Amino acid sequence: MSDVSTDMSVQGLGLNMGSATAKNILGKDDFLKLLVTQLHYQDPLNPMEGTEFSTQLAQFSSVEELQNIDKSLQQSLDANYLLTTSINNTMASTVIGHDVKAYGNQIHLGDSKQAYLNFDLGNDAKNVKIEILDENDQVKRTINLDNLSKGDQSILWDGEDNVGITLPNGNYHYRVTATDADGNAVSTQSYVCGTITGVRYGNNGAVLMLGDLEIQMSDVYEITNS
């Protein structure tokens, strides 16, 4: 087909080429419109050859088949997601009352005005600094410790800030940095632990309740009987 007829085809279709470029895809409806328009504007003295016409029909059929495969694949993925979510929700309800350890650095300060700061040291540490921050990421308390051994550590915070004022109840979080005797950084991993008191179901799946704290199932690495 000539360039003129091609231009007429696009204009006759009224296709939004900018949109097609943005989506980077040509659907089967667009393909069919192009084919019909091509037949409409072809030169009567130089009609489309039969082989070329057959090739374009085969291409149209391939486009349709690929779209059908994509639709079936998406349906399969959706079904798998629903099944996985259902299994996770069912499993979550069975761990209520069990003790759990999960990656995280959140803590809740309640009426007792005490909270444990749990973390793991990759090696023995000469100096350890723990910073406790409020929900606005403002440092409220800094705790410096010396000569802690490799492994799990649990430090009791008295709920006070750096000037000795008791902080209000609420959620806080903390960060831990450590160095060895040579001044080299020691790896740290904070975690939360406690008894699972309930499960909340949301758009992202089941969330475990540890009193006033919430943790994701994906962050849990240990569950034991209380």
- Output b/e per residue, 22-37; b: 16+ Cβ within 10 A: eeeeeebeebebbbeb
Residue 71's pLDDT is what? Answer: 72
Please, are residues 186 and 123 in contact by the beta-carbon 8 Å criterion?
Answer: yes
Question: Comparing 105-114, 138-147, 156-165, 199-208, which segment has the lowest mean pLDDT?
Answer: 199-208
Tens of pLDDT along 26-80? Answer: 666 776 676 677 666 665 555 555 556 556 656 666 766 676 777 777 776 666 6
User: Mean per-residue pLDDT for 124-148?
Assistant: 96
Residue 109: per-residue pLDDT: 94
pLDDT in tens, 70-116: 777 777 666 665 555 555 656 666 788 889 999 999 999 999 999 99
Model confidence at 21, pLDDT cuts 50, 70, 90, reads very low
Q: Can you name the residues that pair with 201 across neighbouring β-strands? A: 206
pLDDT of residue 69: 76
- DSSP codes joined into one string, 13-75: HT--HHHHHHHT---HHHHHHHHHHHHHHS-TTSPPPHHHHHHHHHHHHHHHHHHHHHHHHHH
Confidence (pLDDT) at 4 = 41
Position 20 scores a pLDDT of 44
Tell me, what's the pLDDT at 206?
A: 77
Q: Residue 21 has which token pair?
A: 């470029």
**What pLDDT was estimated at residue 60?**
61
